[in-house]
A and B are shown apart, each in its own frame.
Chain A
């Protein structure tokens, strides 16, 4: 089945640690996105990539980093510089341009 796979589903991070969230898609989509979701805040764009080896900052990129070395993979690293990382993280992909985005099932990150 084609789709977007995010792992892990739940992730716990200690203060000061970096953690990496995985996002893989087999839809042959060019564009990939990372969103952060907090209660009552909707989805806010962290980073996006429209093509391999290229990515741009979204609205809340501080404290996060990404890479796009392969078309099907777009991992997100939450660094220790992100002061409030506890949230639900959603990865999405699309064919690019004015096409709809398809979403993974999300990763819930909690700082302990």
Chain B
């Protein structure tokens, strides 16, 4: 069965600082990987996705993520954080072997200090 681990429950950064949110997955074959963002009381918005090809993927709002098969990781990065980036971030994995159901990590809450 597939699984996702987001090791950091809560991260605090200063506005303008760089950001990296960690995501590790467990799955035998090549997974489909996603990052979503959620503001309080709202639904989830897709930031970016990896299916195949280039391991560095660009998303919306200036985010990028890199798929590293050797480390089973798909970390999310942003070079300069804005106060509006404060939210909860979820990594998710899907796979053909599980009918493409998405399995989510428990999320990382990002706080941005002025």
Interface residues of A, Cβ cutoff 8 Å to B: 4, 6, 31, 33, 35, 40-45, 48, 50, 56, 58, 88, 90, 92, 94, 96-106, 108
Contacts and interface: CB of A to CB of B under 8 A. Distances in A.
A100 B106 contact: no
Contacts, number: 58
A44 B4 CA distance: 12
B99 A50 contact: yes
Given A43-B44, A45-B102, 17 more contacts: A6-B43, A33-B102, A40-B9, A40-B106, A42-B107, A43-B90, A45-B103, A48-B99, A56-B99, A58-B101, A97-B100, A98-B94, A99-B100, A100-B46, A102-B46, A103-B43, A105-B42
Nearest to A50: B99
Contact of B49 (A33, A88, A100, A103): A100
A106 B101 contact: no
A106 B90 contact: no
B86 to A, nearest CB: 17
26 contacts: A4-B43, A6-B43, A33-B101, A33-B102, A35-B104, A40-B9, A40-B107, A42-B90, A43-B44, A43-B104, A45-B101, A48-B101, A58-B101, A88-B41, A96-B100, A98-B51, A98-B94, A98-B96, A98-B100, A101-B46, A102-B46, A103-B45, A105-B42, A106-B41, A106-B43, A108-B41
